[in-house]
Structure 1
């Protein structure tokens, strides 16, 4: 089934875009945009890229090789996401370099389940792990970030010691580095918490397909529970009767370009070249209502699932909150671009 493309994502140069204009036309209106001219001084654009524009993989192995990261196998689906495996950055780089020629040959097979070589490093908490290495500076347009400012200072996750007592702090964030060879991709999704996101291409090109929130119901199955996994896969019209009505925006993101993805916009992304990107999820006053509405719906669902044990629970509300936190964290790990 061919996608219906209704237009392209607008492009603006940062030198010609005032912050208030970005607020009025994109944050308030919840409209996507690609912004150029934001990455000239970034250290990552020098250290992480060869002069010919290809990723400097040896730099990562040398300086960050021992880091443990999550890697998605783009050829294997696991529930609503791709199968994840853990490995070191050095191991990932070795596989990438060893399989690069084969992966490029098998690019057309990535969606049919026959290709097992397209590995995509996702959700690397690089800033948290290497705070002294300033790879980039968050652009002015995205600095009003309540999510990551909060997580930087709040003791969110405890670390059990040898006696299984929680002592330390292991606070997460939503600032990530992604690395993938040509052909790697991310399935269709809307971002965690219905947050905003921005994604900057340090090198390589990405192809984006985005769908307005006004059409998101068309992606759901007959039971309004699960969304389409792959917009280029074999989509059953009986199971997803509304999908054929969807009209998409398309965007090819080049190196040194930053895309802003607003709240509730479903998107699917494919790397057209070997690519490294920096990504943030974030929210502030302009999209807080989206976040709150989602959390309230999830809370109601969580409460209904365990309603039958209310009478025998000493702290039913506390149990609801803990289950909500676990479920939200699980969704976050499954659905970040």
Structure 2
């Protein structure tokens, strides 16, 4: 019941969605399945869809496109509002961190770990969501991550995973599961595998954060997996570790004393490497055909 006081629970109705449609207006910035929708069009789709794999709406810019919605989800659950160290970077310079999520029955998220070593909370405003968790060191049945976890092989849809692997997963001592309904807030620890199935048309807000509990994991990720940083442009990702460590040492020096900052030698790009070797190295592209402009 961590968000039962939110005005959104009484205002963000999906059966009578006049408020959401009015507040969101004609903006087509609401994305689902690679398509852009107005809120009105997406809700009409979600209420009538019969697809096996319904399109799931994730909107990271809802606070910009429909700022009135922010007032309806205040206050943030107190246990999560105490620290969010990425906020020190400023709203425009931090990785994406907050999403409006809407999905019809049978939609959801297949197994994944949250980005950049962060933890998250997910507040349900409408509908019910089935959650399944596995700890970081245990891959869920049917899920096959690469060594660096940059890619994950598994069933195409979350419904397919439940049909083929849920009974097997339930036999594991490591699996945790729950159903969250309106007003409930689910905590997702950093590094944990999790998947979500919408049991009916659901609306939620989710937010990722960095605090003292997961700070070490985030710093390790930013230092060791820079190529996997998500939620910001490539140039911003390249400097994120340095920018974050710098502002943390300025604002929270006591906390950062326990976190060494090893020197990171910048990786040279292929072009730089070739220039250094140009005296002893040559290459060609072989016989070239005319350019194909298809």
TM range, smaller chain: 0.5 to 0.7
State the alpha-carbon separation in 2 of the partners of residues 216 and 304 from structure 1: 32
Q: Report if aligned partners of 2:60, 2:96 keep a CA contact under 8 Å in 1.
A: no
SS for the counterpart of 1:263 is coil
2:231 aligns with none
Does residue 46 of structure 1 match 2:10?
A: yes
SS for the counterpart of 1:311 is helix
**1:22-64, Cα deviation, whole Å (9 max, x unpaired):** xxxxxxxxxxxxxx2x223211111113xxxx55433222221
**Cα shift at 1:308:** 3.4
Residue in structure 1 matching 2:78, options 131, 136, 140: 140
**Cα shift at 1:264:** 0.4
Q: Unaligned regions of 5+ residues in structure 1, if any?
A: 1-35, 74-83, 111-117, 157-170, 235-243, 315-337
**Cα shift at 1:222:** 6.8
1:85 aligns with 35
**Cα shift at 1:220:** 3.5
Higher Rg: 2
SS for the counterpart of 2:106 is coil
Q: Report if aligned partners of 1:67, 1:88 keep a CA contact under 8 Å in 2.
A: yes
Change in Cα spacing, 1:41 to 1:313, as seen in structure 2 (3 Å) is: farther
**Cα shift at 1:123:** 2.8
1:333 aligns with none
Q: Report if aligned partners of 2:58, 2:101 keep a CA contact under 8 Å in 1.
A: yes
Query: When the two structures are aligned, how many residues end up with a matched partner?
Result: 226
Change in Cα spacing, 1:295 to 1:95, as seen in structure 2 (3 Å) is: same
SS for the counterpart of 1:215 is coil
**1:277-304, Cα deviation, whole Å (9 max, x unpaired):** 0110111222111111112222378999
1:14 aligns with none
1:129 aligns with 65
1:178 aligns with 101
SS for the counterpart of 1:68 is coil
Does residue 271 of structure 1 match 2:209?
A: no
Q: Report if aligned partners of 2:127, 2:181 keep a CA contact under 8 Å in 1.
A: yes
Change in Cα spacing, 1:221 to 1:275, as seen in structure 2 (3 Å) is: closer
Change in Cα spacing, 1:246 to 1:193, as seen in structure 2 (3 Å) is: farther
Q: Which structure features the higher share of strand residues?
A: 1
Alignment of 1:152-167 (within 5 A): 152=91, 155-156=92-93
Q: Report if aligned partners of 2:106, 2:159 keep a CA contact under 8 Å in 1.
A: no
Q: Report if aligned partners of 2:29, 2:65 keep a CA contact under 8 Å in 1.
A: no
Residue in structure 1 matching 2:130, options 207, 214, 221: 207
Alignment of 1:1-337 (within 5 A): 36=1, 38-49=2-13, 55-73=15-33, 84-97=34-47, 99-100=48-49, 103=50, 106=51, 109-110=52-53, 118-133=54-69, 134-136=71-73, 137-143=75-81, 144-152=83-91, 155-156=92-93, 173-216=96-139, 219-221=143-145, 226-230=151-155, 233=160, 247-299=174-226, 307-311=269-273
- Give the TM-score, by structure 2 length: 0.65
Q: Unaligned regions of 5+ residues in structure 2, if any?
A: 162-170, 229-237, 239-264, 277-294
**1:207-238, Cα deviation, whole Å (9 max, x unpaired):** 1111101214984457665323337648xxxx
